[in-house]
Amino acid sequence: MTNARIAGTGSYLPQKVVTNQDLEKTLDTSDEWIRERTGICQRHIAAEGEYSSDMGLIAARNALHMAGIEANEVDLIVVATTTPDKTFPSNACAIQRRLGVHGCPAFDLQAVCSGFIYALDVANRMIRTGGARTALVIGCETLSRITNWLDRSTAVLFGDGAGAVVLQATDQPGILSTHIHADGEFENLLEVPLGTDYMVMNGNAVFRKAVSTLGSIAAETLTGNGIDKHELDWLVPHQANLRIIAAAAKKLDLPMERVVVTVDKHANTSAASIPLALDIAVRDGRIERGQLVLFEAFGGGFTWGSALVRF
Ligand code: ACO
């Protein structure tokens, strides 16, 4: 059976950094509150005229470069985004064009903060069933454009950025499993309401649901693969809130040194957060070839999912 392995990773962050102290000037909030409740210290914000496909393109190029793969070898592009540049064409088609690739399937997928896991699931299945051999899986977001900067309950939480992986067909172990789920019942706890432009969230209810759901998806993943939690080398979780991440790590009995945390510097970049965090930990040498890595995410929808990866 053909497997899919992560052959390269890449990421991109916009240049502009907005600190908690910057937000104190325009919002009834404090650096202390934001750090204590979320672990966030700063976020990157896209420049005027900088869109999610621009960031996704750079992340994709960086991932291809690491993999040593030319763009013309790519035969599938899946982009996870909640904030595409346009309603259509998709970001995936925009990135395909700018990579100079023609003819391969390219499409966007929307599962909010779980989008990257969903995209990885789809690309993995395409490779395993012979529909592709070299896939670009990209998460890219400009959440700053759907954030109400006057609403302190959401404005402090989000940031912009992009991450990407190159998936390649292999006979070696790679993506060991993916699990994805959704339950539309909870739509109104986290949404951009009809006819409006900005996210609204019942943070406390989402927080509680995220913690319990991430516990169950981790258990489902371990059981499904017949492995013990102590076999995991790394957890690369969606980066929404340090307290949610710490609770997930505790359930896995993983010390925080084995958890990749970027929420302090990037805030919540939705579908971009896992590939961004992964790329940082691969490039700084923490995550090494052969290690067992668990990705897990929870987001609007609600959607949630995991991927277990032999890196
Ligand atoms: N600064 C200061 N005070 C604030 C701020 C702020 N930025 N925001 C809220 N508060 C106040 C509230 O008004 C409330 O005040 P009150 O007690 O006088 O009513 C108090 O702080 C506590 O508010 P809570 O919402 O109960 O605070 P909580 O500890 O739950 O933290 C947070 C809020 C950080 C939003 C947390 O609930 C959270 O992280 N939720 C989950 C977010 C998440 O995971 N989202 C999923 C992915 S996002 C996606 O899919 C797009």
Residue nearest to atom 48 of ligand 1 (CA): 299
Q: Could you say which of 170, 200, 219 is where a domain stops? A: 170
Does residue 156 line the site of ligand 1, with CB under 6 A?
A: yes
Do the beta carbons of residue 112 and residue 299 sit within 8 Å? yes
Is 268 catalytic? The answer is: yes
Does 10 share its domain with 146? yes
What's the confidence (pLDDT) of residue 192? 97
Q: What is the mean pLDDT of residues 196-213?
A: 96
The closest alpha carbon to 100, from 67, 75, 71, belongs to 71
pLDDT (tens digit per residue) in 265-302: 999 999 999 999 999 999 999 999 999 999 999 999 99
Residue having the nearest C-alpha atom to atom 46 of ligand 1: 299
Residue 209 has pLDDT above 90, yes or no: yes
Instruction: Check pLDDT > 90 for residue 1.
Output: no
Say if residues 116 and 139 touch (Cβ distance below 8 Å).
Answer: yes
Domain count, the chain: 2
* Whether residue 20 is found in the same domain as residue 162: yes
Contact 121, 180 (CB under 8 A): yes
Please report which confidence band the pLDDT of residue 18 belongs to, taking 50, 70 and 90 as the band edges: very high
Tokens in use for 257? 């040194």
Ligand 1 neighbour 203 (Cβ under 6 A): yes
Task: Judge if the beta carbon of residue 115 lies within 6 A of ligand 1.
Answer: no
Task: Answer with the one of 122, 141, 170 that is the final residue of a domain.
Answer: 170
pLDDT of 75 above 80: yes
User: On the CB side of 278, how many CA atoms lie within 13 Å of its CA?
Assistant: 35
Q: Is the pLDDT of residue 79 over 90?
A: yes
Q: Residue 140 sits in a domain of what CATH number? A: 3.40.47.10
Catalytic residue among 44, 179, 181, 238: 238
pLDDT of residue 151: 97
C-alpha angle 1-177-213 in degrees, rounded to nearest 5: 165
Same domain, 193 and 283: yes
Alpha helices (H) along 68-202: 91-99, 115-128, 152-155
Tell me what percent of the residues of the chain surpass a pLDDT of 70. Answer: 100
The residue range of the domain holding 298 is 175-310
- Identify whether 3 is a catalytic site residue: no
Catalytic residue among 3, 20, 241, 268: 268
149 lines ligand 1 (CB under 6 A): no
CA distance 66 to 10: 8
Tell me, yes or no, whether 14 and 152 share the same domain: yes
Ligand 1: distance of its center to the CA of 79 in Å? Answer: 29
Assess whether the C-beta atom of 268 lies below 6 angstroms from ligand 1: yes
End-to-end CA, the chain? 18
Residue nearest ligand 1's atom 29 by CA: 37
Residues 220 and 298 in one domain: yes
C-beta separation of 110 from 171 below 8 A = no
Of 144, 145, 153, best ligand 1 pocket probe by most atoms within 8 Å of the beta carbon: 153
Provide mean pLDDT across the span 100-107.
98
238 flagged as catalytic: yes
CA–CA separation, 13 and 64 (whole Å): 17
Q: Output the CA 31–ligand 1 centroid distance in Å.
A: 14
Q: Which amino acid is at 182?
A: A
Q: Where are the alpha helices (DSSP H) in the chain?
A: 20-24, 31-38, 52-67, 91-99, 115-128, 152-155, 203-225, 242-251, 263-266, 273-283
Predicted local confidence at residue 66, as pLDDT: 98
**Are residues 301 and 193 located together in one domain of the fold?**
yes
Same domain, 138 and 193: no
pLDDT at residue 71 is higher than 80: yes
Check residue 290 and give its pLDDT.
Answer: 97
Helix/strand/coil (H/E/C) assignment for every residue in 198-215 = CCEECHHHHHHHHHHHHH
Instruction: Please tell me which residue in 62, 113, 140, 179 is annotated as part of the active site.
Output: 113
Residue 178: helix, strand or coil by DSSP? Answer: strand
Across all residues in the chain, what is the average pLDDT? 97
**pLDDT at residue number 20:** 98
Token pair recorded at residue 238? 């969606």
Q: Give the residue among 52, 288, 36 at the shortest CA–CA distance from 156.
A: 36
- Which ligand 1 atom minimizes the distance to the CA of 241? 39
- With 90 as the cut, is the pLDDT of residue 100 above it? yes
pTM of the model: 0.97
